Structures are given as structure tokens and as C-alpha cells.
Structure 1
Amino acid sequence: MRLGSLNDQIQTIINDFGILLPEATLIVGCFVMIILQLIYEDKGTVVKTVFSLFLLGLIALTVSTATAPGSYFDGLLVQSQVTGLAKLFFIVITGFVLLFPKGENLLKRGEYHFLIFMILLGAMLLIEVNNLLLFYLSLELVSITSYLLINFNFDRKGFEAGIKYLLFGAMASGLMLYGLSLIYGLTGTLDLAGLGAFIESGAYAGAWLTVALLLFFVGIWFKLSLAPMHIWTPDAYEAGPTPVVAYISVVPKVAVLIFLAQFVLTTQLEILDFDWKMIFSGLAIVSMLVGNLSALSQTNAKRMMAYSSIAHSGMLIIGIIVGNDFGIQALLLYAIVYAFMNIGAFYLIELFERQGFVTIKDLAGVGRKSPWMGVFAVVIMIALAGLPPTGGFTAKLVMFSSLWEYYQTEGHTYLIWLFGLGLLNTAIALFYYLKIPYYLWVHPSDAEKEFKFSPKDGTIVAIVVFLVLLSFFKADLLLNVLNQFNFAL
């Protein structure tokens, strides 16, 4: 009887491997990339890039066939309709990053492709794990890879930023692991469903479980760059390669948010004595204030975008605080629009840096020399600020609408504070986002500055700008797509 049961379990596990076809394809592709690196060494940029893009296309095809809502591997992995959407989103963002203008220096290295794909693999696992230990391992895969990629400029500044990133990451990782050990010791399980059943049963009402959960959340707050766990962000963004910074500012963050949504929906945290939503609301407010106020004084565009990402993390966490279908829908909409705004901004920053425009003041008069690129920059900046007619306005409108609706239902005082201060921070953000358009078009130039961009660069930025505008003028298209998905993670 036991042998038959064991055979059934083994057969079930073998059958469940089909849902990991995208991840398996990615792993095989990484091994092929290692072989290409051994053959071409630091040459063959076109071959490696074409193979990477082909691999992404192949993974996208497997996602459509391998994604099926349900529980797999005895509950270790759980897939929902959101899982397939998120994986396709990660693949598209990865493709854009591989086309960044600095690719000639990075894409010739097979290790760069390999590490980018490791972040993609970790992100794809993060959104479907249903076990806290597997979540920790997936998060560490993303984190350690990010530490390495930040150093890919191979200069002293990058090494210093990488070490700072590593040290703060190690501290957050240690606290998270300690929290996980406490959770297991107190509940006897690391599965989300088991943890939810334990909390719902009321078997343990002491403060230790609250402490354990807070320690676990520290690692999540670190990855999301929420204040005060944001210390690593400005230096890492400024010193790291721009494509890498653009990538880690979007993909890992969205993956962790999707897992966090699954976590809070499954574990019934509302039953515990402490109000976790009030804590998250406080972190959101502090993050928005720290990010926006710090960004006001920045002269380096990448450092300004670092503080901007901290503020946007505070906005994104609102979807988790709301926690219902509308809140998760607002979270995904904001994440998608923010990703393309961020990719477009960092792409332009990379173009400017390649031609010697390092600080924001260096951009004085460039918009008049290159009107098309100046217009593109204006659109992306006002989108990040949340102004119409861009998708940034649509995303913030939906996010604040979900928060207001939730406040009317629950009536907690801290929600109205979050709503009011969130609107105030949107106004503050205008002062630094519009700084770049001001220098591009209004500020007089002291010297003749020519700005050149290739047809490829112009096409990619135009596509991003088109998507940002489309998400405003045809917002119903994206909303209708999101409405078709079941947000029960």
C-alpha cells in the first residue's frame, strides 16, 4: 500500500514537470550560451544576441502551453492566470534590455546573457512558489545575480556600489532566514496554505509569530527598495551598467510584489493581532516622501531615477494594501506601465551618457538640436510624473481609485493619510521629473551640443513612447486584458 502510494506520488511529480517547460527551456538555453562563450569568447556579439532573442521567443511560446492554473509538486508551486501574464511581461522586458545601446560592451560577454537569464529564471519562479523556503532560494538567485551584474562596468565605483549592495543584501537575507526559522518553529510549516490554516485556527496568538513575520518582510522590503531599506539603491543605480539598472528596477520588483500578493491573500494575516496594513501604509508614505524629496536635489539622472524608484515602490505597495481584486488589478496595471516608462527613461539616459551628457545640466539645449528625441524624453518624464496624456496618469488614477474605494469600505484613518500624502507626493515629483524637459528645451546652452542617435535607437524609444501614450488613449484595451484574468492567486 505504501509502495503504491509512493509510486503514485512519483508519477504525479513526473507529470507536474510539464508546467516547468519555460524554466527548463531557459536553463537549457543558458547552457548553450556558456558553450557559445567558450567558442567565441568576447566576440560574436551578434550571434549571442540573436540567440538570446530567439531563446526569449521560444520561452514565450512555451509559456502559453505550460501555464495551467492549479497546484503542483504537492503544493510547492501554484499557478494562476496571472502567472502566465507575468512571465510574458518579464520576457518582453528582458528583450528590451538586451537591445540597450550599451550592448556592444556587455552583449559580447556570454556571462552577461547568462546572468540576465538567471534573474529571469528567479523571477519566473518567484511568482509561482507556494513555499517560503523556495521563495527564499528564488529570491537569493535574483539577488546574488544582481550583485554580480552591478559590477559589470568593472570600475572602482561599481565595485564599491556592488559591495554596499551585497552587505545590505546579506543583512536583509539573514534577517529573512531567521524569520523563516521562527515561522517554521512556531507553525511547523513553510507552505503558504499551511501557514494560513495555522493562523486561521487561532492556535498561536503570541507576539513571536508577529516578530517572525516582520523579520521575513524585511527581505521583501529590501528587494522593493522601500525606505528605510533603500540605502543601497542610489549608489547601485548610479554605478551599475544602465541596462542592468533598468532591468533590476523592474523585473525582480514586480516578481516580489506578485508573490507578496499571493502571500497576503493566502495566509489570512488580518486575523493576527497586529495591523500589517498600517505598517505597510507607513512604509509606503515614508518611501514616497524619502524618494521624492531626495530626488529634488539630484544632478545625476541615474541617481534621480534611483530615488524615483523608491517613491514608485511606495505607490506599488498600495495595491498590496488594498488586497482585493481591484487592488491587484491596479498593481499589475501600474507595474506594466511603470516598467515601460522606466525602460524608456533609462534607454534615453544611456543614449545621453554615451555622447558625454553625464549630468542633467549637460542636457541644456539638446532638445532644440534633436527635436524628436527631446519630445520622446518629455513624454516619458511626464508619464513618470503621472500627468496626462500618458499611461502614468492612467496607472495612478486606477491605483488611487482602488485605495479610495477600499477606504470607503474599511474606514481606517491611515488609509486617508496614505491617499492624501500619495497625492501630495505626486505633486512633489513634478519638480524633478520636469527638470530634464526644462534643460532640454528651455535652459540656454553654453555650447553647441550635437546629439546623434541611430534608427534603431529612435525606433525603440518611439515604440516605448507609443505604448506609454496608448495606455492613456486606449486604456480600456489593457484594462480589458487584465479583467479577463482571475486574480485569485
Structure 2
Amino acid sequence: MSEGQLNQQIQSILGDFGILLPEAVLIVSSFVLIILQLIFKDKNSTIKTTFSLFALGLIAMAVSATSISGSYFNGLLALTPVVGLAKPFFILITGVILLFPKGENLLKRGEYHFLLLMILLGAMLLIEVNNLLLAYLSLELISITSYILITFSFDRKGFEAGIKYLLFGAMASGLMLYGLSLIYGLTGTLQIDLIGEFISQQPDLGLWLPIAFVLFFVGIWFKLSLVPMHIWAPDAYEAGPTPVVAFISILPKVAVLIFFAQLTLSAHLVALSFDWKMVFAGLAVISMFVGNLSALNQSNAKRMMAYSSIAHSGMLVVGVIVGNAFGVQVMLFYAIVYGFMNLGAFYLIDVFQQQGFTKIQDLSGLGRQAPWMGISAVIIMIALAGLPPTGGFTAKLLMFTALWDYYQTEGNQYLIWLFGLGLLNTAISLFYYLKIPYYLFIHTSEEKKEINFTAKDGTIVAILVFLVLLSFFKADLLLNVLNQFNFAL
């Protein structure tokens, strides 16, 4: 390379740094939060929370100013239209998490704000990388931060759940890194689009490349809590602080799904002789059954939501299996609605737990004492079950429509099995999602119970319920937003 070419390349790289303005604002804000923690110690949470929300606003402005599609840093980053949609959603989720009731104790610790922003940083980087090593590092940033946050309940149960989460995560990371090294050895590159070119030219590489990708996918299974990498989820969800659990049940999952969709399309994995879609279809079905059947006997609401999350992961993966523009669009619609539903569910669980109602049976009769809270809980639960008139029904209807259209095109028999068993699992989920409305309104309790539902709680829950209902009655609003983006990644 000549000196002129080198200078030109350096100038090009320096010019690309502007595209990382949102990430730069996020990193600077994180360090300011550490300084605020040194000044105010574990008190004056209002200042740190206000600054965090202000920083999220600045990051959102930076995203709107830099959301330009293209390839940057010699192909290391590839900004697609999906990135411009996903980043504002990630920022919104992070902002709501900072307003959770139980978070008031956590918010006194500046490390809590810092770690939440680090997960946000990892998610933002993960959806725009075009290099498997950078993807691995982004995923590790999310994972290691999540391990720490799960222990922020600061009790024995939380530490045990954190250790279990860490051990499973370490195993998944090791297998993922080994798969990554095999991919590099076989293809000579870690750049996703170049791997795609290699596969399209030499699709028949025996079993070694499929094995390498399966090992790499273990990390994806772990973050999505797909079977068999789901064992950490119930204990982590039950023992971890509710705001943290709500956060890791949404943000990392959606980020990994977007990365996975972009990887499968950009790397031309369909050209492999190995049918990876059939493997993921099998994992999706097993995850749905394990999640839904295990949730039936749960008495702890957070543990029930952990198994619910496993089942929903199986549904979300269907969008990647479909793999066309409509499939990715539907997957994003489902992911956004799922985010609102999960936030609402965990917010209500947090309100209940703050007042000593830790078991589902403890909720007996509370719906009649606080009707607005009870009705909100009913709407959130039937949305998670996929019943009308909620966005959960619209999301599942669109997902099954995309799967049916794909089956009509491809004709693979495992797709019709995925379709039928997916419908069956939707029916199974009714039995545990409707358990909470049953105890709130129908089941009676001999002891007198009271629950306080503050104006702040009512406002936040009302907004989330409104969004869940709006995505049914005016689903075209979100679909029109999604239609503005090109999902042929």
C-alpha cells in the first residue's frame, strides 16, 4: 500500500468516527455518572437519575442526527435501516427501567446507572457490527454487565443466581469463541459480508463450517434463553432485582435477534448444505413447550415470567427462520410489542413486591380493591397470551401469517409442524397467563389486604397499556413506521 493510499484510508477512518456520536455521548455520560457517584456516594439518587434521563435524551438526539445507512471503518460497521429503528427503542426501554418503583433503592448507587448504560452500549454496537469478533465483544459487554446486575439484590439467593448465570455464560462464551476461531480458519475472514461471499462461492464445505456456526450460535441461544441454554433464566429472573430482570428480558434479546437476522442474511447461510433453519425450528418448538409447560406450575410471578420469556423467544426466532423482508418486519413488530408487554408485567410485579405480595396467590382479591391496577394487569396478561384486543394478538397473527406464507413458498414439512405446534403452545399459555387475573378478581382471601398504587405508577402503567392496546386497534401506525425501512438487509 502506497503512502497516499494509507493517508486516504486514515482520513476515511477518521471521517467515519462521526457515525459513532451516539455511542460517544453514551460513554461520556457513563463516566460522568461515575464522578457523580464519587461525589454523592449512595444518596441523592434524584440527581443521578435525572442526569441519566437527560443523557438518554442526548443519545436519542445523536441517533436521529447520525442514522445514515452504509459501511464504515473499512467494513467493520454496517449501519442498516433497522439500526435507526432499534436504537430509539433501546433508549426508550432504558428510560422506563430507570422509573421502576424498586429501582429507587438501586438508583442511589451510581454503578447501577453506569451498568445499565453499558448494556445499552453493547446492544447498540451489536446491531451495527459487521465483524464476528466485534459482535462477540459486544455480546460479552452485555453479558458480563448482566451477571453483575443480577446480584444487585445483595442477598444469598441473588449471588447464587448470579454465579449460575455466570457459569452458563462462561461456557456459552467459550463455545462461541471456539466456533468463531473455526469460522476464521475455514473462511479466512471474520467480516460477515466476506464470509457470505465465501459461502456463496463454496457452499459445499462438508460439516466443519456448519459445526463452527452451531458453536457460534450457542452464544445466541444463551442470550435468547432458548433450550438447551435456558437453565439460568428461572433462577436469575426470580432472584434478580425486578428492574434488572425486566431490562435483560427485553434489550439483549431484541439486540441479539437483530444481529442474528442480519448475520443469517448477510452471510448467505441458506447457501450451506446444512439446513440451519430446521435446527432453529426444532429449538423454537422445544423452547415453546419447555417454557409454557414449566410455567403452568409456578407460584412466583417472576419465575413464571422467566419461563414465559423462554416461550416467547421460540416465537421470536420464527421471524428469523422466515428470513425474508416480511419475516424481519414482523419479528421487529413482535419484539417492540413484547417489550411493552414485558415492561408492563414486570412493573406491576415490582409494585406488588414492594408491598409484600411475592406469590401469585397473594394477589387474591386485590383487583377488586384497586380496579384500575387489576384491569391493567388483565390487559397485560391477555396480551402476553396473544388474545384480542391487544397487540399481542396482532403480533402473533402477523408471525403466523409470515410463517404460513413462507411455508407456501418453500413447502418444507417442518414449517407446517412449527406452525401447528406454535398454535398449540399459544393455547397452553392461556392456562398460566390467566392465573393472575383469576386471583386478582375471582379468588377471594380471608385476610384483608391493601395496596397503594401511586400516581406515578398509574401513569406509567397506563401509558404501557395504551401502547399495547394501540398496537391492536391501530396496528397500522407501527406497521407504517416499519414500512419506511428497507428490511432486505
Q: Distance in 2 between matches of 1:284 and 1:131?
A: 26
Unmatched 5+ residue regions in structure 1? none
CA drift at 1:92:
0.3
Runs of 4+ displaced beyond 4 Å: none
Q: In structure 2, the residue corresponding to 1:343 is in which secondary structure?
A: helix
* Alignment partner, residue 120 of structure 1: 120
The letter for the 2-side match of 1:173 is: S
1:230 — aligned with what? 230
Partner in structure 1 of residue 420 of structure 2: 420
On the 8 A contact 1:334/1:396 being kept in 2, the answer is yes
* 2:248 equivalent to 1:248: yes
Structure-2 residue corresponding to 1:386:
386
Contact kept, 8 Å, 2:204 with 2:272, in 1: the verdict is: no
Q: What is the aligned-residue RMSD (CA, Å)?
A: 0.7
User: Take 1:210 and 1:460, find their aligned partners in 2: how far apart are those partners?
Assistant: 46
- TM-score normalised to the size of structure 2? 0.99
Q: Provide the C-alpha distance between the structure 2 equivalents of 1:273 and 1:398, rounded to a whole number of angstroms.
A: 30
Question: 1:79 Cα shift?
Answer: 0.4
1:80–1:488 Cα contact (<8 Å) kept: no
Where does residue 7 of structure 1 map in the other structure? 7
* Residue of structure 1 equivalent to 2:365: 365
- Give TM-score, length-normalised by structure 1: 0.99
Q: How does 1:24-43 map to 2 (within 5 A)?
A: 24-43=24-43
Q: Which residue of 2 aligns with 1:202?
A: 202
* Separation in 1, partners of 2:277, 2:177: 22
SS at match of 2:152: coil
Kept in 2, the 8 Å contact 1:76–1:130? The answer is: yes
Amino acid at match of 1:65: A
Q: Deviations over 1:316-374 (max 9, x none)?
A: 00000000011000000000000000000000000000111110000000001111100
The residue that corresponds to 1:154 in the other structure is 154
Alignment of 1:437-448 (within 5 A): 437-448=437-448
| Distance (whole Å) between structure 1 residues aligned to residue 258 and residue 423 of structure 2 | 24
Superimposed CA distance per residue, residues 126-161 of structure 1 (whole angstroms, 9 cap, x where no aligned partner):
000000000000000000000000000000000000
8 Å contact from structure 1 (residues 161, 239) kept in 2: yes
- What is the CA deviation profile of residues 56-87 of structure 1, one whole-angstrom value per residue up to 9, with x for unaligned ones? 00100000111100000000000011101100
Deviation at 1:488, TM superposition (A): 2.7
Letter in 1 for 2:230: H
- Is contact 2:161-2:235 (8 Å) kept? yes
In 1, distance between residues paired with 2:331 and 2:452? 37
Shift of 1:204: 5.5
Gaps of 5+ in 2: none
Question: 1:45-60 to 2 correspondence within 5 Å?
Answer: 45-60=45-60
Alignment deviations for residues 30-51 of structure 1 (CA, whole Å, 9 cap, x no partner): 0100110000000111000100
Name the CA distance, whole Å, in 1 between partners of 2:203 and 2:69. 31
Deviations 1:232-274 (A, max 9, x none): 0000000000000000000000000000010011111122111
Letter in 1 for 2:481: V
Q: Which amino acid aligns with 1:22?
A: P
How many residues end up aligned between the 2 structures?
A: 489
SS at match of 2:463: helix
How many angstroms apart in 1 are the aligned matches of 2:31 and 2:271? 46
Instruction: Give per-residue Cα distances to partners, 1:440-471, cap 9 Å, x unaligned.
Output: 00001121100111100010000000000000
Identical residues among aligned pairs (%): 75
- Mapped pair 1:313 → 2:313: yes
Say which SS state the counterpart of residue 153 (structure 2) adopts. coil
1:209-224 superposed matches below 5 A? 209-224=209-224
Matches within 5 A, 1:44-193: 44-193=44-193
Contact persistence 2:383–2:390 (CA under 8 A): yes
> How many angstroms does 1:203 deviate by?
6.8
* Structure 2 residue identity aligned to 1:469: L
Aligned-residue offset at 1:228: 1.0
